[in-house]
A and B are shown apart, each in its own frame.
Chain A
Amino acid sequence: MSMTKKSKLPMVGISKCPTGIQGLDEVTFGGLPRGRPTLVCGGAGCGKTLLGMEFLVRGATQYDEPGVFVSFEETAEELAHNVGSLGFEVDALIAQKKLAVDYVHIERSMVEEAGEYDLEALFVRLGQAVDSIRAKRVVLDSIESLFASLSNEAILRSELRRMFRWLKDRKLTAVVTGERGEGGLTRHGLEEYISDCVILLDHRVTETVFTRRLRVVKYRGSTHGTNEYPFLIDQDGISVLPLTSIDLKHAVSDERISTGIPALDSMLGGKGYFRGSSILISGTAGTGKTSVAAHFADAACARGERCIIFSFEESADQVTRNMRSIGINLGRWINKGLLQFHASRPTTFGLEMHLVKMHKIIRNFDPSIVVVDPVTGLIDSGTQAETRSMLLRLIDFLKQKQITALMTTLTGGAAAQEQTEVDISSLVDTWLLLRDIESGGERNRGIYILKSRGAAHSNQIREFLLTDRGVELRNVYLGETGLLTGSARVAQEAKDASQALLAEQEIETKKCALDRRRKAIEAQMDVLRLELETEEEESKRLVGLEQMKFRKWEQDRGKMAKSRAMNEGTRDRNARKRKSE
């Protein structure tokens, strides 16, 4: 996020000086009042000095505004050493004339006051340092220690007034630190002199958990965030979390992304979740919440998208191993740099700290998917109301960045299944419920969609199986006895199958019988045909015989006639013959 273009709100009237500190410029809508002193107060160890130093370092490196650090408490070496661990190279900046450090050491036992004096020497020193590097920024840390060293408070007060006047006249943007006092913001009432902008730093321990907070107490001539904002000091300096000011204005996407489980996609209208939506998976222990989440992450990485898993219960290795057992290889995505695992115990930090850390990680990695497993783990680090507001902030933040968030939550016993412990259900867009279905002496898993905003979704309960090829969903058996799952379903399915088999066998038998009958009839028909043929043959033979007899008779008769005619005829013929001759 760019800090410089953020300050569109109150540019009229007051010019602002961006601090470059992560989040602070958003809280102050652009930075500290330019050319004026700002009071930063807080108790010991709350980060005042660091804030001052970061203000100068960022000014010198990011905004080309050199700065002078006047330290009343630590020597230049100590200061450089202390902030060196935060990646600020004070010595290098001093060498480049972008930073000057002046350590004002006052040893009370060595100083005697005898008569009227002023603090002109301080002005001389500061003026000299400012001129030497053409400084635009000044930090006085902490000028209040003068009160401890000098007894003439009247002089001191008038000189402080003169000092702040002097800073303003020179148009220096100054950060003046002050120790938190009882009854007032600072122990010696510095807020009397610096009224343009006052920032209060605070740190407290609630139930053994340490949280830092920042509040802009007042900012003359400018609007500012009025809440307490948690902040973090880590290797990159300060990051303030400017979150509660978010309004519901985030862009929404119509794009759908796969859950990684085809059957679940089809339950969600065949398409899966909306991109940029928030998904809650709730369920009792061991119902497979992490597996569903892992599927989602796996599918995202397979599409080439980046994904972060915040794990509050298991280490990265443990999750990877466990997911391997159901056929999901998350390790390869980690190696490819698409998947980041951030495992920590919820109790390691305070809630706000978790949020700030998550914020930072998300901002650095810029993923398209974030998995929080489980959010209930965070309850341990805060009260319920805090957790809820934190999750709200997180969800809003992710929505703004169009990041799809999948959170798991552990629910208690059967009675409270539809009530998540942190009551975040109203904050999420899609809510999947994983539950145990107990029947027939078994505990089986069921999944259903409790809600899915803006998308058609199945109203059915599916049985949820964890196989070595991942999560599989089965239709549950709805019989006369109600919902059947697990082996009851398997038995019922077997029963159905055997009934089908029986029917099939019956048909087969009937078919066979018919076949046999046809064959028998056909055989009979053959016999008859044979008989017929035999009879035909016989009759043919008889006919032939008769015909033969007849022909014989005819022949015989012919012969007889011939022979008879021969006797007569021969004569005739002979006679005729002779006649003719």
Chain B
Amino acid sequence: MKTSAARAVRERKPSREPTWELRLYVAGQTAKSLLAFANLKRICEEHLGGRYQIEVVDLMKNPELAKGDQIFALPTLVRKLPEPVRKIIGDLSNTERVLVGLDLRPRA
């Protein structure tokens, strides 16, 4: 993962379903943030095909951005679209819970 302030990863596939906008908040290239990004990438590929867009926000570089999305824990994944906004905190290693958090799987 390259830690630019906002980097979009786009992969388009012809589909009528809307594109997912995901934002991953991290603080520097820690083991947790690298793991989180890798986990996110994998899950998106498996479950969203190409209909997603990931923006990585590094709070070390832009600390003022933490307030806007009410970020308190790191890493935090924010599902901006589709609404409603969802937050998943942690390194996303528990795939089941990520899927539940993203509303890709019904809550138990």
Which chain A residues numbered 106 to 122 have a C-beta less than 8 Å away from chain B? 106, 110-122
Nearest residue, chain B, Cβ from A114 = B97
A392 at the interface (CB under 8 A from B): no
* B32 and A124 within 8 A (CB): no
Query: Which residues from B are CB-within-8-Å of A332?
Result: none
Query: Which residues from A are CB-within-8-Å of B93?
Result: 114-116
B34 to chain A: closest CB distance in Å?
Answer: 12
Q: Which of A105, A117, A127 is within 8 Å of B89, CB to CB?
A: A117
* B91 and A128 within 8 A (CB): no
B46 to chain A: closest CB distance in Å?
Answer: 15
* A106 and B72 within 8 A (CB): yes
CA distance A118 to B91 in the complex (A): 10
Most chain A CB neighbours (cut-off 10 Å) among B60, B72, B100: B72
B41 to chain A: closest CB distance in Å?
Answer: 15
CA distance A198 to B39 in the complex (A): 43
A224 to chain B: closest CB distance in Å?
Answer: 34
B2 at the interface (CB under 8 A from A): no
* A125 and B73 within 8 A (CB): no
Query: Which residues from A are CB-within-8-Å of B73?
Result: 117-122, 150
Counting contact residues on chain A (CB < 8 A from B), the size range is: 20 to 34
Nearest residue, chain B, Cβ from A106 = B72
B101 at the interface (CB under 8 A from A): yes
* B63 and A125 within 8 A (CB): yes
Nearest residue, chain B, Cβ from A156 = B73
CA distance A119 to B32 in the complex (A): 12
Q: Which of B32, B35, B76, B97 is within 8 Å of A121, CB to CB?
A: B76
Query: Which residues from A are CB-within-8-Å of B44?
Result: none
A102 at the interface (CB under 8 A from B): yes
* B94 and A115 within 8 A (CB): yes
* Given A110-B84, A110-B87, A115-B36: A121 in contact with B71 (beta carbons within 8 A): yes
* A116 and B90 within 8 A (CB): yes
B54 at the interface (CB under 8 A from A): no
CA distance A125 to B67 in the complex (A): 7
Q: Which of B74, B91, B94, B100 is within 8 Å of A120, CB to CB?
A: B74
Q: Which of A110, A118, A125 is within 8 Å of B66, CB to CB?
A: A125
* Given A115-B93, A117-B90, A124-B63: A110 in contact with B85 (beta carbons within 8 A): yes
Counting contact residues on chain B (CB < 8 A from A), the size range is: 35 or more
B24 at the interface (CB under 8 A from A): no
CA distance A116 to B36 in the complex (A): 9
* A112 and B98 within 8 A (CB): yes
CA distance A119 to B25 in the complex (A): 12
* Given A105-B70, A112-B100: A121 in contact with B87 (beta carbons within 8 A): no
* B89 and A113 within 8 A (CB): yes
Query: Which residues from B are CB-within-8-Å of A120?
Result: 27, 59, 73-74
Total number of residue pairs linking A and B with CB closer than 8 Å: 94
B92 at the interface (CB under 8 A from A): yes
Which chain B residues numbered 78 to 108 have a C-beta less than 8 Å away from chain A? 84-95, 97-98, 100-101
CA distance A127 to B64 in the complex (A): 10
CA distance A116 to B30 in the complex (A): 12
* B27 and A114 within 8 A (CB): no
Nearest residue, chain A, Cβ from B77 = A114
* Given A115-B94, A125-B66: A110 in contact with B72 (beta carbons within 8 A): no
Query: Which residues from A are CB-within-8-Å of B71?
Result: 121, 125
CA distance A112 to B36 in the complex (A): 14
Task: Flag A398-415 by CB within 8 Å of B: 1 or 0 each.
Answer: 000000000000000000
CA distance A119 to B86 in the complex (A): 18
Which chain A residues numbered 352 to 410 have a C-beta less than 8 Å away from chain B? none
A299 at the interface (CB under 8 A from B): no
Task: Flag A201-239 by CB within 8 Å of B: 1 or 0 each.
Answer: 000000000000000000000000000000000000000
* A112 and B64 within 8 A (CB): no
* Given A111-B87, A116-B93, A121-B71: A128 in contact with B64 (beta carbons within 8 A): yes
* B70 and A104 within 8 A (CB): yes
Q: Which of B72, B88, B101 is within 8 Å of A104, CB to CB?
A: B72
8 closest A-B pairs (Cβ-Cβ)?
A112-B101, A115-B90, A114-B97, A115-B91, A115-B93, A121-B71, A117-B90, A128-B63
- For this complex, 8 residue pairs linking A to B, each with C-beta atoms less than 8 Å apart, are A104-B70, A111-B87, A117-B75, A117-B90, A121-B71, A122-B73, A124-B59, A128-B63
Which residues of A are at the interface with B, using a C-beta cutoff of 8 A? 102, 104-106, 110-122, 124-125, 127-128, 146, 150
Other 7 A-B pairs with CB < 8 A, given A116-B91, A124-B66, A125-B72: A102-B67, A111-B87, A111-B88, A112-B86, A112-B100, A113-B97, A120-B59
Which residues of B are at the interface with A, using a C-beta cutoff of 8 A? 25, 27, 32, 35-36, 39, 59-60, 63-64, 66-67, 70-76, 84-95, 97-98, 100-101
